[in-house]
Amino acid sequence: MKDPDRLIKVEKAIEEKYGAAAVQDPKNNWDEEKEKDYRQQIRQLAKDRQEKEKVEIDGVLLPKKLFTKANERSCPVCKEYSFKARDDVYMSKYKCCHRCYIMHVEGREEKWLKKQNQI
């Protein structure tokens, strides 16, 4: 059977080793003023982060995440823009979309990759 006073013993051992502040409830030192200050800091951090994540293009602020994959979405071979996940796979390995893979690469993968590495 487990010792019912185990938690108390562990808490006392922590207090002896690290001091009374280590086992103190954080709510004891928290008041409305600290809560207000904390919420203000959170708002300021969110505002700063939001400003950093925007890019100005022609006087318009746009989220950066819209531009992270912009170059990877267009096939360099056919210049077609695609949202298909299947094209992402071929784009990352063969630097072309699925349709261009079928037309130009299939059966010639090694030659294609050598050519891509030379460029």
Angle at 62 between CA 56 and CA 65, to 5 degrees: 120
Instruction: Kindly report the number of other CB atoms within 10 A of residue 106's CB atom.
Output: 11
What are the structural domain ranges in the chain?
A: 31-68, 70-118
List, in sequence order, every beta strand (DSSP E) within 1-119: 54-57, 60-63
Mean pLDDT in residue range 13-19:
93
Alpha helices in 53-96 (DSSP H): 70-73, 85-94
Mean pLDDT in residue range 78-106:
84
Structure confidence at residue 70 (pLDDT): 46
Q: Which residue has the tokens 């912009």?
A: 70
Residue 56: strand pairing partners: 61
Q: Which of 3-7, 14-18, 73-77, 107-111 has the highest mean pLDDT?
A: 14-18
